[in-house]
Every structure is written in C-alpha cells, then in structure tokens.
Structure 1
Amino acid sequence: MAAGLKRDPVVILRIQGEDLLDFINGPNYEAEMVSIFSQIGLSNDASLHDIIIKAMEKFTVMSKIVELALQLLDGNDQDEPVCKKTFLEEFKKVAKHVAQNLVERL
C-alpha cells in the first residue's frame, strides 16, 4: 500500500481494516508516521488526541471511528508535550482499533 509512495503522504485507497493493519504492522510504518508527525504543525498545547486526529486526517479516515478509538487512550497525558515515541506508540494503538472497526463493518 504505502511502500511505493516515496515520501508522499500515506494514502489508503480502500478504507478497509486489512489495508490499515498491513500498513501499521509493515516495515514502512515508522518512517511514514515520523514524516507525518513532522508535517503536523505542533503547538505546545496540542494534545495527543489533537495530533492523532490530524494524523488520521492524512488518511481520510472517518471521524466517528477515530473518536471511538481515541477512547482507548488514558487521559493522563493530556497536559504533557507529545514526543515522537509517544506519538508512534499511541497512533499505532488507535490505528489498530480503527482497522478492527473497519473490518467488522465490512
């Protein structure tokens, strides 16, 4: 899916859970997501939820599914700055939940 995109934004042509799972479990996940993380204009007051929503917008994933998946995150990190490591780990959790929801709906 994203393997041949060469630094272009990740595009999920078919919004299917299997495609998203393949991406987040694939070898290009970290490089692509670090690129997206860098593209997102971070402000000091941006929460992890805000950043994940902006990243998901790069995938054009339906917002209701994303909002449900964001409920998996605990609220303890809301006031802390978001580092790249936290973003990568938490985005993967949310993306897996989104993918599972998409698989169940198809």
Structure 2
Amino acid sequence: MSVYVGNLSYEVTEDSLNAVFAEYGSVKRVQLPTDRETGRLRGFGFVEMDTEAEETAAIEALDGAEWMGRDLKVNKAKPREDRSSSGGNRGSYGGRSRY
C-alpha cells in the first residue's frame, strides 16, 4: 500500500518529499509522476512507507498541512485502475456515437 499526496508544488523533489515523510517513519519509495508531453510534475505523488502504522501517522499529521505554500491532500492511495484496451467504461457502443 502507499500514500497519495496531492496539491504538491511543482518545485517539489523526491528528496524533499522523502524528508517530510521520514519524520513519521521509514520511507521505502517516493514517486512523482510527470506529464508525458511536457515532463513537468503533475502536482501529486506517492509515498511508500515500511508499515501501515507509519503511513497512518503521516496521513493524520500531513493531510491539510501547509507545505511549500500549498495545503496538502494526503490519504491512502487507491489501487490503480486497469487501463486495458477493452475500451473501459464507454457504454455499450464502445465509445462511438449512435448517431
């Protein structure tokens, strides 16, 4: 499991985010997704910690906290949705218009 961190500054680095979460336990991994076209940070990230108790402590302390001029949104990350080529949830017409 991992922690979702939203409303991040575009100036954040993996090292700076790691340092904030390290106050609540051992950080295993930090991910900061970037936009494919621009390479710019997308404003959110994921942090994996050693234990669920550490994740819970970090969530409780950091959700709503101001950091780098932004109010953080911190919660349990939801499992990634399957992005298969089956068309997803586009209705019975496979995304095509009936008309």
Question: Which TM-score applies when normalising by structure 1?
Answer: 0.26
Whose RCO is larger (CA < 8 A, sep 6+)? 1
Q: Which has the higher helix share?
A: 1
Larger Rg: 2
Q: Which has the higher strand share?
A: 2
